[in-house]
Amino acid sequence: MYPGKRLFDVTFSLVGVLVFSPVWLVTIGLIALLDGRPVFFTQRRLGLNKSEFTVYKFRTMTTDGMVTRTGRWLRATGIDESAQFLSVLKGDMSIVGPRPFIESDLAKLGWESPRLNWRWSVKPGITGMAQVNERWATRRSLAWDRLYIKRNDSMSDLQILMVTFAMNLIGKDRGRQLLKRPWSTPVTD
């Protein structure tokens, strides 16, 4: 972690909470009225050194795995992820870092090997190189995580944050098409 990373995280999280508070109120109301309760989705994820923590998101799916009416909009804009600012303030996550996974994801991706422990040497992030460049976790995501950890600087974090903000304004899928890849393609191992 570079010097000032925690200050970066807390500063941007506080700004995020202030900016998103009115949106959160509307989101809570829409989910409660249109989709029912609960409003939040919680899940245990792996963080720094594979320690477990609880991640909070706005609920976008039903219990049978269908995306809700409100969920389509929340996912398209990334607002469902904005509740994770609370996890950053708590110290479980960073604004920028590798995607936080659940334990079963590691087996699905084949990432259980101790040789990949470098990936858990930093806190997971709300956004990151892999999240911006890949829609889902893939082998390429691991390469993006390696590149991020290798760079580990405030300018990369700021650049990723700006790209994420732009993508959330115009939609994630459209943003990936328009922005292309803002970083050099990583080398896969």
pTM of the predicted model, to two decimals?
A: 0.83
**Overall average pLDDT of the 53-57 stretch:** 94
Place of tokens 């109120």: 25
Percent of all residues in the chain with a pLDDT value above 90, rounded to a whole number:
56
For the cut 60, the answer to whether the pLDDT of residue 62 exceeds it is: yes
d(CA 117, CA 123): 13
Looking at the chain, the number of H-run helices and the number of E-run strands are: 8, 4
Check residue 14 and give its pLDDT: 96
**69 within 8 A of 35, measured Cβ to Cβ:** yes
Q: Which residues contact 160 (CB under 8 A, 6 or more apart)?
A: 96, 127, 128, 129, 132, 148
Cα-only R_g, the chain: 16
Count Cβ atoms below 10 Å from residue 171 Cβ, excluding itself.
Answer: 15
Count Cβ atoms below 10 Å from residue 126 Cβ, excluding itself.
Answer: 27
pLDDT of 111-158, one tens digit each? 888 898 899 999 999 999 888 887 777 778 888 999 999 998 899 999
Q: Is the peptide bond before 38 cis (omega within 30 degrees of 0)?
A: yes
CA angle at residue 78 from 19 to 96, to 5 degrees? 80
Lowest mean pLDDT across 32-46, 69-83, 156-170? 156-170
DSSP 66: P
Count Cβ atoms below 10 Å from residue 48 Cβ, excluding itself.
Answer: 18
Check residue 92 and give its pLDDT: 97
Checking DSSP bridges between strand 94-96 and strand 52-58, what pairing results, if any?
A: unpaired
Check residue 177 and give its pLDDT: 64
What SS3 class is residue 77?
helix
User: What φ, ψ does residue 132 adopt, rounded to 5°?
Assistant: -75, -40
For residue 121, give the amino acid letter: S
